[in-house]
Structure 1
Amino acid sequence: MKRGILCLCILSPGLALADVQGSRFFVGTSAFMLYNLDQSTDYPPHFYQLNFGYQLTPKDVLSLEFITWRYYAPMAILGNSENEEDNFPGYVKVVGPALAYQRFIAWGFYTALHSAFFQQSFWNEEDVKIGTGRQLFLTFRLGYHLSFYSDKLFLEPSLAMTHWPINTGLPEDFQVQEDKWRKYQFEPGLHMGFVF
């Protein structure tokens, strides 16, 4: 059985300071969506993300993200365990918006803070909805901005720490699994998009 996060990190130098001259808007997504193409997994993520952003200054960017996905085990497990016994007795569907602030530091490097407020629905193994809840999902990111085609296309490989300090409404058997694990995770990321 497969489980994990699609690791797409690109380590290469690039052009790299954000340029506010001309276009300031962008649309983007996460390369994690490519994991939806894996037909061999028993745990499809059904992950979709759309980002819409605006560059306030050459160093400051705000974006609104819309995200939906599924997970089948406590999030801290992802990539850390292949034990079926760690899974939930079903899965969690997540949907919600996020607000992100990105600050360019120097030489293309940036930091970012993403704050997502998710509505969650809990489904048992018979695919029956058994409850709802909410989650505050925070991401702290350090990454690198690469731009191509006259700064119209960009890739942003990153390393992130995610944390979910609020996670309510879990059914009791889901909560038992969740309580066995920490409330944070380290993971790679790769955002991409185009500027207009």
Structure 2
Amino acid sequence: MKKLVIICLAFCALNAFAQSNNVSLENYNTDFKYRVSFPAIILGNIGKGGERTNTQHIEFHVKRELDSKNIIGLKFATWRLFQPMGIQWWDGLLDKIDSETEFYPGYLRETGIGFSYQRMLWKGLFASVEVLPQYKTYLDLDNKKIANGFKLYNSFHLGYHFAFGKNKRFFIEPQVHSQFWVFDTNTPDAFKQLDNRWKNYFLFEPNLYIGFKF
């Protein structure tokens, strides 16, 4: 819940500032073809230390503009799950975090390097797709390894690009994305029993990306 509040507050503050500086991608300074960005959600883990619900989420993107409409990139991400990712908002996601009823008997660490494609649709409006092969490590509550596996994680995004600052080099991208995963291999039985109760997708996750062009 704290992460969601952080994202909403950051979005409101930055969106208000960026509205007056909004320009379409066609008008950006073409000297800056590359960009780096990260999701604001990772800031919510700062100071949480060894808390059970600390996802230890780290994620970075490096992208290149091919032209005014098409952007390709590399994505690095790692996170630690304490319960199945397929629990939807309408399934009482936040309540289950509070009650701890769906917590794994340990953790699932997922790490990968993948690819992204972003298409500018109209002014700052964009759609993107990301494909992230992930190496999975299952851990017990003492962080001792139980098993390894593989997952192919895919996400679809719809958002808006706001640029501001000198030469419009700083930007934010509020967005909503949905994800699904396949080839989820070698899951220990205790984890699999929990995963099987829920979907292999998650819908309508709000997020805010912060970035810099160079």
User: What is the TM-score when the length of structure 2 is the normalising length?
Assistant: 0.84
Pairing partner for 1:21 from 30, 47, 50: 30
- Tell me how far 1:107 sits from its aligned partner: 2.4
Distance 1:174 1:131 in 2: 11
Alignment pair present for 1:96 and 2:116: no
Change (3 A) 1:184 1:6: farther
**Alpha carbons 2:75, 2:116 under 8 Å: kept:** yes
Change (3 A) 1:75 1:51: same
**Any gaps of 5 or more consecutive residues in structure 1?**
none
Change (3 A) 1:4 1:35: closer
**Alpha carbons 1:131, 1:170 under 8 Å: kept:** yes
Moved more, 81-90 or 115-124: 81-90
Secondary structure of the residue aligned to 2:7 is coil
Which is richer in helix?
Answer: 2
- Tell me how far 1:38 sits from its aligned partner: 4.5
Instruction: State the match for 1:185 in structure 2.
Output: 202
Distance 1:55 1:94 in 2: 28
Moved more, 24-33 or 114-123: 24-33
Structure 1 residues 83-162: aligned runs within 5 Å: 83-149=99-165, 150-162=167-179
**Alpha carbons 1:20, 1:55 under 8 Å: kept:** no
Instruction: State the match for 1:195 in structure 2.
Output: 213
**Alpha carbons 2:6, 2:44 under 8 Å: kept:** no
* Residues 150-190 of structure 1, C-alpha deviations (whole Å, 9 max, x = no match): 21101000001111122111101100000000111120111
Structure 1 residues 55-74: aligned runs within 5 Å: 55-74=65-84
User: What is the TM-score when the length of structure 1 is the normalising length?
Assistant: 0.91
Secondary structure of the residue aligned to 2:172 is strand
**Alpha carbons 1:91, 1:124 under 8 Å: kept:** yes
Secondary structure of the residue aligned to 1:22 is coil
Q: How many residues align?
A: 195
Change (3 A) 1:73 1:31: same
Distance 2:88 2:194 in 1: 13
RMSD (CA atoms): 2.0
Moved more, 2-11 or 88-97: 2-11
* Residues 96-151 of structure 1, C-alpha deviations (whole Å, 9 max, x = no match): 11201000100210000010000010001232100001111111000000101121
Distance 1:64 1:26 in 2: 11
**Any gaps of 5 or more consecutive residues in structure 2?**
none
